[in-house]
Structure 1
């Protein structure tokens, strides 16, 4: 289908409404003193952690320290322990949270789930022998499974611990890391200095009543509740709010595409069809990535909402096609055309479910489907047929202010008893520097700060996982790497790459205790050139409505940039031929078995 020119013009007009000169600077972080009390862990049990003991103390030495105890950290640990022969006593995950889980530790709001099917998303199902309870797994089940992985492989975690400083010691040939360990209320935090080999980068039920297991929010009865945001969190939580609150106001800056989704329990019979051969999960993940990237002649084995999002290839890449400057204009039009049929179907989906035409019109998304992460839910749209639910559409302006009584929007004050912020969180696509997520300086050789290199003219990576001047440092970045809407795909690939590199460097070094592996500068520059060559695949992004994928409008058209700015933007892009092609490149590098482009010494 060919997208009408009038719709392209409407997309541009809707985008212009939402552009702000301050872009991402308009957002406030929990580090802000005003919001500091919101940055506490409501789930941690300090006494239970203390009773189990802590794996790290001042001066501890471990071979591998992984910053982050979520899905990626656990997958990397699993690889290192099983593929490399590293002992579990030589590996520790550190995390600010009070337990394993990452985003699934923190997010425990009612209805929280992963809308990508769990058979593809949740890691190590075959390795653990676990059969998920549901196709789309709820947050608690995902967190329970991540804890199961930690138990099965005896993975150590140092919780309530933040990294405050990371510095490479060229004499000692290791990283020196300083950690702050929160021992709980009334106890003085411990400052720990750790020597190690390498690194890798809620909901208040007391106010609502109920729990994640039984979200009966009786305390919201008789209350006026407001929720700001219309992304995945709001789409999942709003139906639960409307069930209990006297009235629910949903404040919208930009509507989301919300596709249908049918939850189903996993029966033994269905599971036998899914987990029907060795490596079944990795083949299923490959099938989903093939659908995302528009791989030709591929059979849809997933058959759900995600597998039908045709425009996703505009942000996922496509194997075998490199866009030249002369092809760019037509390429953007092609991406719009591919996307059009799905977006029209999603807008018709709103009309089919929402009774009032004016409300339905406000709930329709007017931007390409690849601009924001689509959501999927069975009852979100029908909420707006209820008399106790009000959509407050701000026509792109957003909420104006908070008042002592509630919220100011559209020059009108909405009096509320409870306000819920479903406003999103920082993602690496806005600031992809690996050290930014930890908010701790990371200094490599000669005191060079990673953030300075990342934002400077000498930026570069190999596979989005290593960078020159920072030996024995591994990370997972889309910049110089690849992405998939199914995070498990990228995590699986990058953890295998890191594990292989660590293992081979330990074998090749004269002294494994002081092994140093580092990418050569010429290697990362050559890789950056390959990234740049493929970067024009993402040329449609400047036409997108503001959001985290575009840094709230930071992504600019090539013609608006100077030549040096164009190249800097291009080399910090991600692999334009998609994750399956990227996987082939990495696999070939591993199969060669030479650590090509790296130096290893001790």
Structure 2
């Protein structure tokens, strides 16, 4: 339903449903907001942040591309999708030699989130034909429509191999500072050669620097009475899904036969996208499974299917097929009336996604904001009501079914998709512990405390997600590494300051030769591959053009002009009201655990500061058109190139 059609819709969210949304939101608002969690960057959780998958011997045998004093043309901090796709474009479009590019990551290999997430059942709920990058370029046919995690990791490794990209693994960025005389970024690194040895410090130089730390910056857990209360008790096992311990459960990511859970009581904290995938596998092996719920998720159907040659011939039917398919998905998300739905799955039915996606040609004003919020709520309601009916159809016990129903707009928390999660609760060996929005209360030597009762558990699984770069979206914060630009100004100071701004969410004034990919000043899609492709091609194009026109390419700098940054920020601000439905949301990571709900208490100046940090309000396809038109001119408008 397009913006025009919304004016004529006959579906209105009933008053009782709107009141239910409001009451469920209110009971979950907590004054500490994101401080109710503590993440792996905190010293008290350091022991949980080890890499259970790294092979130090294999890495040492292969060798590392950087040593103390190295000088590299392009350094990429982050070996996930953004870093690898950008490296691919730098090599294959910008003409930079792969020997001049190094990707740095604290992990033991390529993959980013797909390196770390190896829990049973891990998969992408976005169709793999759209989500998995560079399928056509690598000639790879996914084995399933919704790719399992290890297959996505393998594809990212394939991209690195195909372009001969170098990885400096087991290495964290600790500090970055711009040297204006040398025209280089001076980057300090901490390189670990084993679990036991202290890391060694390296200092390297880089002409260009990409911050690719991602948006899920660090695994986090509820900040209760100290996790060691449970973890240090005899015969207890604890793990976060982002650091799955297969030695404790048995099996492997490829063959999740968790025989070591037999006869044990297992607790899973969380009912988000990760828990929805984990729980069916755990419940298959455990003696009893307790699932602790703070806020239920919408759970739509997802019929998995192996990719046959016949299927693939229909999908990959012409040159450019993947990008056409990705655009179709984004067109559905943004509500384009003439869009062909090439994907036709659960995601393309979630009409409420347009509240966070934007819509080309519609700029919401103060006068039209109230009607816009009403439109978004109305267009969202039919799908959410359908998902609540699905709970009733899948769960036999009406009392449990009521507890599993989500009461908030679909755009507030990422919807989930699974064929068997809801029916789990028909089993006598699975118990839902609904905490009515409060969460678990404490860790105990025997298990956890919830609703004033202690639940005895042998294995505790924290499916509690990540610290997400919404409250602190500064690109250097994702790496937990300070970055200083011209005149030693911290990037965080500029990002949080009144003179904040970016160009296309990828470049910022005062920080030459620095790139990132931020939704702030950029765009968003539920399909991460969409925005990362735009950003990576933009970065590659900018570097290529800057080097081409430089008299001395070794000393070239490219930097956003302040007036161009301000002009783009003004355009972002003008469109920010598209996202004005978010204060109606229940707290979650997409709303800063309640931060968004405080915006109605801000003065006009504070609102303007928030607005210019918004996403592009006319949708990712409109954003893509603007960026591609800018690149097609090949003038680097708004940038200063010096050499």
Q: What is the TM-score when the length of structure 2 is the normalising length?
A: 0.93
The answer as to whether partners of 1:589 and 1:595 remain within 8 angstroms in 2 is: yes
- 1:108-127 matches, cutoff 5 A: 108-127=118-137
What residue is the counterpart of 2:108 in the other structure? 98
2:277 aligned counterpart, secondary structure? helix
Cα distance in 1 between the residues matched to 2:535 and 2:405: 37
- Is residue 216 from structure 1 mapped to residue 257 from structure 2 by the alignment? yes
1:557 Cα deviation from its structure 2 partner: 6.1
The answer as to whether partners of 1:435 and 1:442 remain within 8 angstroms in 2 is: yes
- Is residue 336 from structure 1 mapped to residue 377 from structure 2 by the alignment? yes
Cα distance in 1 between the residues matched to 2:268 and 2:597: 31
What residue is the counterpart of 2:331 in the other structure? 290
- Is residue 71 from structure 1 mapped to residue 81 from structure 2 by the alignment? yes
Counterpart pick for 1:253 among 282, 294, 316: 294
1:581 Cα deviation from its structure 2 partner: 0.4
1:26 Cα deviation from its structure 2 partner: 1.3
1:17 Cα deviation from its structure 2 partner: 0.5
What residue is the counterpart of 2:167 in the other structure? 157
What residue is the counterpart of 2:149 in the other structure? 139
Q: 1:195 to 1:309 in 2, by over 3 A?
A: same
Cα distance in 2 between the residues matched to 1:22 and 1:578: 32
1:188 Cα deviation from its structure 2 partner: 4.1
1:25 aligned counterpart, secondary structure? helix
Structure 1 residue runs of 4 or more that deviate by more than 6 Å after TM superposition: none
Cα distance in 1 between the residues matched to 2:592 and 2:628: 31
What residue is the counterpart of 1:7 in the other structure? 17
- Is residue 575 from structure 1 mapped to residue 585 from structure 2 by the alignment? no
1:209 Cα deviation from its structure 2 partner: 0.7
Residue deviations 1:6-34, cap 9 Å, x none? Answer: 21111011000000001001110112232
Cα distance in 2 between the residues matched to 1:81 and 1:17: 52
The answer as to whether partners of 1:176 and 1:194 remain within 8 angstroms in 2 is: yes
- 1:190-589 matches, cutoff 5 A: 190-201=200-211, 202-556=243-597, 559-589=600-630
What residue is the counterpart of 1:34 in the other structure? 44
Q: What is the RMSD of the two structures over their aligned residues, measured on CA atoms?
A: 0.8
1:545 aligned counterpart, secondary structure? coil
1:558 Cα deviation from its structure 2 partner: 5.2
1:28 aligned counterpart, secondary structure? strand
The answer as to whether partners of 1:354 and 1:384 remain within 8 angstroms in 2 is: yes
Counterpart pick for 2:63 among 53, 58, 72: 53
Cα distance in 2 between the residues matched to 1:73 and 1:362: 41
1:326 aligned counterpart, secondary structure? coil
Cα distance in 2 between the residues matched to 1:214 and 1:543: 42
1:93 aligned counterpart, secondary structure? strand
Counterpart pick for 1:178 among 188, 196, 210: 188
The answer as to whether partners of 1:408 and 1:414 remain within 8 angstroms in 2 is: yes
- Is residue 80 from structure 1 mapped to residue 90 from structure 2 by the alignment? yes
What residue is the counterpart of 1:591 in the other structure? 632
Q: What is the TM-score when the length of structure 1 is the normalising length?
A: 0.99
1:54 aligned counterpart, secondary structure? coil
The answer for unaligned runs of 5 or more in structure 2 is: 1-10, 212-242
1:552 aligned counterpart, secondary structure? helix
The answer as to whether partners of 1:120 and 1:486 remain within 8 angstroms in 2 is: yes
1:371 Cα deviation from its structure 2 partner: 0.5
The answer as to whether partners of 1:429 and 1:478 remain within 8 angstroms in 2 is: no
Counterpart pick for 1:128 among 130, 133, 138: 138
- Bigger mean CA offset, 109-118 vs 424-433: 424-433
Q: 1:213 to 1:558 in 2, by over 3 A?
A: closer
1:559 Cα deviation from its structure 2 partner: 4.1
The answer as to whether partners of 1:69 and 1:95 remain within 8 angstroms in 2 is: yes
Residue deviations 1:403-438, cap 9 Å, x none? Answer: 111000000100100100000012223321100011
Residue deviations 1:429-482, cap 9 Å, x none? Answer: 332110001101000000000011111111110000000000000000000000
Paired residues in the alignment total 602
